[in-house]
């Protein structure tokens, strides 16, 4: 018998319709490509965790950035849920049969890639081995414990040239998680009851390599 999805995750999905979407992330009318990402949570010896990938530094969009598995919705996907599971399988070797889709979060807009992204919430009731199954798109795959994400030592904000301070970021498992992925994680961890107090005045300059890839 497979383990049921935890209460915090089902509650998160049930309340998703009431989640406010910040103005910069609201999809514009009639614009943007439909896309989806899989927020896949599981249970490991280190407690609950989430699956993240590090995109290839050779990619066109979001090169080198940590992210959730995902991509554009194709005609044969049947919608965002099918797209998120297909992309996760292609990128990480994930077996979709081991995933229970709990629900979705409101659609969000990423202006840089012109994508309207639906976050799909999944519970990994039967975990399998995962790896960088598509090397041209993915450099690494990691199951990141939530305990590490919410550890105040691993939390910060980034400062871009000109003094602009971006949203929350995480430094975990050799990755600097920022941008869209960090924003979604920050919201989900807070709504799931995991967030711990952290110093949001801890602001660091964006590393030059991260900045170079972001500007491509």
pLDDT digits (tens, 9 = 90+) for 90-121: 999 999 999 999 999 999 999 888 999 999 99
pTM over cut 0.75:
yes
For residue 61, what pLDDT is reported?
Answer: 60
For residue 163, what pLDDT is reported?
Answer: 72
For residue 190, what pLDDT is reported?
Answer: 96
Sequence-ordered alpha helix ranges (H) in the chain: 7-14, 80-92, 146-150, 179-191, 208-214
For residue 64, what pLDDT is reported?
Answer: 84
For residue 161, what pLDDT is reported?
Answer: 84
Number of alpha carbons in the 13 Å side-chain half-sphere of residue 192:
25
CATH fold for domain 7-214 = Nucleoside Triphosphate Pyrophosphohydrolase (3.90.79)
For residue 188, what pLDDT is reported?
Answer: 97
Q: Which residues of the chain have pLDDT under 50?
A: none
**Complete DSSP assignment for 88-140:** HHHHH---GGGEEEEEEPPPEEETTTTEEEEEEEEEESS------S-TTTEEE
For residue 112, what pLDDT is reported?
Answer: 84
Cβ distance 112 to 25 under 8 Å?
no
Q: In terms of Cα–Cα distance, which of 216, 207, 41 is closest to 123? A: 41
C-alpha 126 chain-centroid distance: 20
- Residue 7 φ/ψ, nearest 5 degrees: -60, -40
Looking up tokens 């497979």 gives 2
pLDDT tens digits for 16-25?
988 889 888 9
Q: CB under 8 Å to 110, separation ≥6 — which residues?
A: 117, 180
């Amino acid at each position: 018998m497979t383990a049921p999805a935890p209460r915090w995750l089902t509650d998160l999905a049930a309340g998703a319709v009431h989640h406010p979407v910040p103005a910069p992330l609201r999809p514009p009318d009639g614009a943007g490509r439909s896309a989806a990402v899989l927020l896949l949570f599981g249970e490991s010896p280190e407690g609950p965790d989430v699956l993240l990938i590090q995109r290839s530094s050779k990619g066109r969009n979001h090169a080198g950035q940590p992210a959730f598995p995902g991509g554009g919705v194709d005609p044969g996907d049947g919608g965002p849920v099918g797209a998120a599971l297909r992309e996760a399988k292609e990128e990480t070797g994930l077996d979709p049969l081991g995933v229970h889709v709990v629900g979705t979060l409101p659609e969000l807009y990423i202006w840089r890639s012109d994508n309207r992204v639906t976050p799909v919430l999944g519970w990994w009731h039967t975990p399998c081995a995962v790896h960088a199954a598509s090397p041209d798109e993915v450099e690494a795959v990691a199951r990141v414990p939530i305990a590490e994400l919410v550890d105040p030592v691993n939390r910060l904000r980034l400062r871009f040239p000109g003094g602009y301070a971006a949203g929350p970021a995480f430094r975990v498992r050799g990755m600097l998680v920022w941008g869209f992925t960090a924003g979604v994680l920050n919201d989900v961890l807070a709504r799931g009851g995991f967030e711990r107090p952290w110093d949001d005045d801890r602001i660091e300059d964006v590393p030059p390599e991260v900045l170079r890839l972001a500007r491509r």
